[in-house]
């Protein structure tokens, strides 16, 4: 297929520029009324897509705040994907790159919302493993549909009636996972559980006992029977709920 000549390409760029921002000149020879229809269609499509992917964000922001944000994203951001399902990630990236222009908790809130969608559609397959393997002697395997997350802001509590001015002293630690029945679950994590899941997420080729010993050393409690007992019990609970799916050989 031959490349478009310069005049056609210039008209395409002018057309796209005007769709993004009405302050840009109209492409030559196109009726303003028709362009207004196209412009509204494109903008409303983006707005509907973002509102569907980020319902809490939409409700938390005022109409003016939301519409200004959508317009700025539509006007300024250049998406690198043609897939509608990936526009949500582009939006999160845009928020992170322009953090100073909006509420500081907005990028994390949007990411937290997007993680639910990711958990619903993720199709990663676990490597070969033993579902009944010994979690202390073997290498515990984290489900590919489980993610331990740490946020500066209390993303699980932000909403129309709670827009914090300052982050809390401690981070918000959350586990998002999808079970075998395709249901997505959210759970608050203790610092110990979060650190344990971080080890598993990193794919450490260390057996469960080695991970627990490392956690105890980090906490300044090597050889502490109570700490080790708690960590072992936690590892087994994670398997019971499906967050840990067995052991692998590394």
**Residue-wise pLDDT tens digits, 11-32:** 666 666 656 666 666 766 677 7
Residue boundaries of the structural domains of the chain: 6-102, 139-248
Mean pLDDT lowest among 8-17, 65-74, 194-203, 227-236: 8-17
State the helix-helix crossing angle for 63-76 and 32-53, rounded to 10 degrees.
110
**pLDDT of the residue at 144:** 96
- Beta pairing, strands 172-178 & 244-248: unpaired
- The residue that leads in pLDDT, 146 or 85, is 146
* Alpha helices, DSSP H, located in the chain: 6-20, 32-53, 55-60, 63-76, 87-97, 106-121, 191-201, 208-218, 225-241
Taking residues 114-121, what's their average pLDDT? Answer: 93
pLDDT digits (tens, 9 = 90+) for 46-62: 899 999 999 999 999 99
Confidence of residue 33 (pLDDT cuts 50, 70, 90): confident
Fold of 139-248: Outer Surface Protein A; domain 3 (3.90.930)
pLDDT digits (tens, 9 = 90+) for 123-162: 999 999 999 999 999 999 999 999 999 999 999 999 999 9
Tokens of 57: 């964000």
pLDDT digits (tens, 9 = 90+) for 152-198: 999 999 999 999 999 999 999 999 999 999 999 999 999 999 999 99
pTM: 0.85
Domains 6-102 and 139-248 fall in the same CATH topology? no
CATH class, 6-102 region: mainly alpha
Taking residues 207-228, what's their average pLDDT? Answer: 90
**pLDDT of the residue at 57:** 97
**pLDDT of the residue at 45:** 86
Residue that is written with structure tokens 């973002």 in the block: 50
Sheet holding 172-178, edge to edge: 146-151, 172-178, 184-188
Mean pLDDT lowest among 10-24, 94-108, 201-215, 220-234: 10-24
């Amino acid at each position: 297929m031959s490349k478009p000549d310069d005049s056609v390409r210039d008209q395409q760029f002018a057309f796209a520029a005007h769709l993004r921002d009405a302050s840009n000149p109209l492409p030559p020879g196109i009726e303003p009324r028709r362009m207004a229809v196209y412009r509204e269609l494109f903008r409303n499509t983006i707005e509907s897509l973002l509102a569907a992917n980020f319902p809490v964000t939409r409700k938390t922001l005022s109409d003016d705040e939301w519409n200004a944000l959508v317009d700025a994203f539509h006007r300024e951001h250049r998406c690198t994907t043609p897939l509608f399902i990936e526009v949500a990630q582009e939006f999160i990236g845009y928020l992170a790159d322009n953090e100073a222009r909006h509420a500081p908790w907005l990028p994390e809130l949007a990411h937290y919302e997007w993680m639910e969608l990711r958990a619903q559609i993720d199709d990663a397959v676990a490597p070969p493993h033993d579902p009944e393997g010994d979690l202390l002697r073997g290498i515990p395997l984290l489900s590919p549909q489980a993610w331990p997350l740490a946020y500066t802001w209390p993303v699980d509590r932000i909403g129309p009636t709670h827009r914090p001015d300052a982050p809390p002293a401690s981070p918000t630690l959350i586990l998002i996972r999808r079970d075998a029945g395709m249901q997505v679950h959210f759970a608050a994590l203790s610092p110990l559980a979060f650190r344990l899941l971080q080890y598993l997420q990193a794919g450490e080729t260390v057996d469960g006992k080695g991970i627990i010993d490392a956690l105890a050393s980090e906490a300044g409690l090597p050889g502490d029977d109570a700490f080790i007992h708690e960590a072992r019990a936690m590892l087994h609970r994670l398997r019971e709920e499906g967050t840990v799916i067995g052991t692998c050989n590394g």
